[in-house]
Structure 1
Amino acid sequence: MATAAVPELAPAALPRHVAIIMDGNGRWAKQRRLPRLAGHRAGVEAVRRVTRAARAMGLEALTLYAFSSENWRRPEEEVSDLMGLLRLFIRSDLAELVRENVRLRVIGDYRRFAPDLVALVDDAVARTDGNTGPVLAIALNYGAQAELAAAARRLAARLPAEAIDEAAIEAELETAALPPLDLLIRTSGEQRLSNFLLWQAAYAELLFVDTLWPDFGADELADAIAAFGRRQRRYGGL
């Protein structure tokens, strides 16, 4: 592993907003001949490590892909386990988020979840709403294509076609209140976006790492930020 400290970088080289596709829980468990639930539990511990490291490093926003709109296709028992872990994370970690001045945000149609979980999420968001520190955004039942389609429908209902431009679309996205996405990381060696932040990633730096999510922590996040700092972002220019 690399050093846990973030290398010295010019402020302009530091990402404001980092997003992570947390992949590899199942493979982590399989390698250890453990049930998939054990991998998801280890993945929750990785969430804790990474969110704490992100705060220590001074990131303004961290967005985590926790449950995609496609994850409903998984076995019912696994979906139930994931929902149980989400309940546990909120109940056990909310006090820390409040204490550390973190603003919790949720993107995605999480209201499809069970009513008690919806109420738990709503309460967590409300309790951190007045905080002024970094944002932790959790993507729950999120799909970027559905997000874009919903934004298009809302705009079409109130604006003429010629008034709909990139800025209008961006203002309708669920991430509109967040800083622009600078760095998108996917763990486990897979190299695809899996319907995550498709619009927002247009000019983000993409980083695919082999580390399975349960093994990802402060050192790996520091490595990712260092790699980001070495890249030249031209936005189509020279």
Structure 2
Amino acid sequence: MKETNLKHIAIIMDGNGRWAQSRSHERIWGHIRGSKIVSNIVEEADDLGAKALTLYAFSTENWSRPVGEVKVLFKLLKKFLLKERNRILKNNIQFKVMGDITKLPEKTQSLIAELENDSKDNKGLKLTFAFGYGGRDEIVQAANKFIKENPGKELTEELLQSYLLMPHLGDVDLLIRTGGDQRISNFLLWQSAYAELYFTQTKWPDFTRKEFKEIFEFVSKRERRFGNVCSSDLQTSKMMAVENKELITNL
């Protein structure tokens, strides 16, 4: 297994509808094609040594889409759960869904619960689907839950982090958005505070393992400073400090 500084990868899988429309098809065909890409990207993330992969499958805002399109997304999730169950378990992947799934058909909810339970002890890649999820909603829920359980106690960053939906995943190291738009659309707002961002023009149905790997390797070479200065700037600052000290001494 490769060692990498990009432990948690998050992807906004965007562009399905536009991909279909550019080919004179209905939007649902883009979702159908896009659903076939997921397994390849999961495998590549695992091969690259990532510890967690979180995919934005359905946001809280997506409920405003046409009913027919929403139903197709429901069916595609169910199909994924049935088709990929054995491969997920075989490859030691831990599967979870974060968000509000209460509007999903009961059969799909049962499939999710079963796969989550059967894979809970797996030690490999942590694969999470964000479905019925919104970043602001997650933060509000976490804060309200803390206040209810700890009346009068001051909330800290560490405590709020522990009340998030999936605190064990930690912060996002790399957030990729396909489809050309350059925004994070209410996805993992807290977790992405210091994430490296990468926006590709490639629409999700055309996103390949090769491009994913190229993005991963390109971003892994960036120097992540987390608000600090880079090593070369730090060395320069130290040298200037010595020179200034000598200058002051000689006044």
Q: How far does residue 225 in structure 1 lie from its aligned partner after superposition? A: 0.8
In the TM superposition, what are the counterparts of 1:157-196 in structure 2 within 5 Å?
A: 157-160=148-151, 163-196=154-187
1:237 is matched with 228
2:32 is matched with 41
Structure 2 gaps of 5+ residues are 230-251
Q: How far does residue 57 in structure 1 lie from its aligned partner after superposition? A: 1.4
1:79 is matched with 70
CA distance in structure 2 between the aligned counterparts of 1:225 and 1:14, rounded to whole angstroms: 10
Structure 1 gaps of 5+ residues are 1-8
* DSSP 3-state at the match of 2:228: coil
Matched, 1:227 2:233: no
Contact 2:170 2:191 in 1 (8 A): no
Matched, 1:112 2:103: yes
Contact 1:61 1:179 in 2 (8 A): no
Aligned residue type for 2:103:
R
In the TM superposition, what are the counterparts of 1:1-238 in structure 2 within 5 Å?
A: 11=3, 14-160=5-151, 163-238=154-229
* DSSP 3-state at the match of 1:91: helix
Call closer, same or farther: CA 1:77–1:154 in 2, change over 3 Å. same
CA distance in structure 2 between the aligned counterparts of 1:90 and 1:52, rounded to whole angstroms: 16
CA distance in structure 1 between the aligned counterparts of 2:135 and 2:170, rounded to whole angstroms: 17
CA RMSD across the alignment = 1.4
Aligned residue type for 2:137:
A
2:239 is matched with none
- Most deviating of 174-183 and 207-216: 174-183
Contact 1:14 1:225 in 2 (8 A): no
Aligned residue type for 2:116:
V
Q: How far does residue 227 in structure 1 lie from its aligned partner after superposition? A: 2.1
Deviant stretches of 4+, over 3 Å: none
CA distance in structure 2 between the aligned counterparts of 1:179 and 1:59, rounded to whole angstroms: 13
Contact 1:103 1:136 in 2 (8 A): yes
Aligned pairs, how many? 228
Question: Identity across aligned pairs (percent)?
Answer: 39
CA distance in structure 1 between the aligned counterparts of 2:101 and 2:223, rounded to whole angstroms: 37
- Alpha-carbon displacement from aligned partner over 1:102-141 (angstroms, at most 9, x marks no partner): 0001111112322222111111111111211111010010
Give the TM-score normalised by structure 1.
0.92
Contact 2:17 2:31 in 1 (8 A): yes
* DSSP 3-state at the match of 1:200: coil
- Most deviating of 215-224 and 21-30: 215-224
Give the TM-score normalised by structure 2.
0.87
CA distance in structure 2 between the aligned counterparts of 1:204 and 1:162, rounded to whole angstroms: 30
Q: How far does residue 160 in structure 1 lie from its aligned partner after superposition? A: 4.6
Contact 1:14 1:228 in 2 (8 A): no
Contact 2:174 2:197 in 1 (8 A): yes
